[in-house]
């Protein structure tokens, strides 16, 4: 049996974290969670996730900075990165694109749509 794909979900809202975790685990993924930017960076480096879902407004280090760290690091840049945020202004979306986000998902979100995007990106990974 193939090893489960690992997804790191980073959000300081624990209810959102639980909803996303339950949805993804129900679809057969291994889910790692984090509630702040510093912990997220540590888990990206130690757990080698297959995909990262990253809130923008986080304590300690914001999601835009973490996205830059991932996308400008030769070892990590291949990881699909979803920015996950309540920030819907065009300037925020443009910033998300400029830091290399593969998806920009706004809250409130549709769990089925999120799962479809996760499956789409992970299906491209061997």
Residue 65: which domain range? Answer: 6-122
Is 108 a domain residue? Answer: yes
Query: Can you tell me the mean pLDDT for 75-84?
Result: 95
User: How many domains would you assign to the chain?
Assistant: 1
Residue 4's CB is within 10 A of a number of other CB atoms, namely 12
Domain annotation covers residue 17: yes
Q: Kindly state whether residue 1 falls inside one of the protein's structural domains.
A: no
The CATH number for 111's domain is 3.40.50.2300
Residue 8 tokens, joined: 């790191």
**Rounded Cα gap, residues 6 and 100, in angstroms:** 20
Place of tokens 């920015």: 83
Average pLDDT over residues 50-67: 94
- Mean of pLDDT values over 6-25: 96
Residue 2 has pLDDT above 90, yes or no: no
What's the confidence (pLDDT) of residue 63?
Answer: 94
Rounded average pLDDT over 25-47: 96
Cα distance between the two ends of the chain: 14
| Helical H segments across 6-123, by residue range | 14-26, 37-47, 63-71, 90-98, 111-122
pLDDT at 85 over 70: yes
Supply the pTM of this predicted model. 0.94
CA-CA distance, 124 to 126, in Å (whole number)? 7
């Amino acid at each position: 049996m193939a090893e489960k794909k690992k997804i790191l979900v980073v959000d300081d809202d624990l209810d959102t974290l639980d909803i996303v975790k339950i949805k993804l685990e129900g679809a057969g993924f291994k889910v790692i969670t984090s509630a702040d930017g510093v912990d997220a960076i540590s888990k990206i480096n130690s757990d080698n996730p297959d995909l990262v879902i990253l809130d923008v407004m986080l304590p300690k280090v914001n999601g835009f900075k973490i996205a830059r760290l991932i996308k400008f690091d030769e070892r990590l840049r291949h990881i699909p990165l979803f920015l996950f945020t309540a920030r819907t202004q065009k300037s925020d979306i443009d910033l998300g694109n400029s830091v290399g986000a593969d998806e920009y998902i706004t809250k409130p979100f549709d769990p089925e749509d999120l799962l479809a995007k996760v499956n789409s990106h992970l299906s491209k990974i061997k």
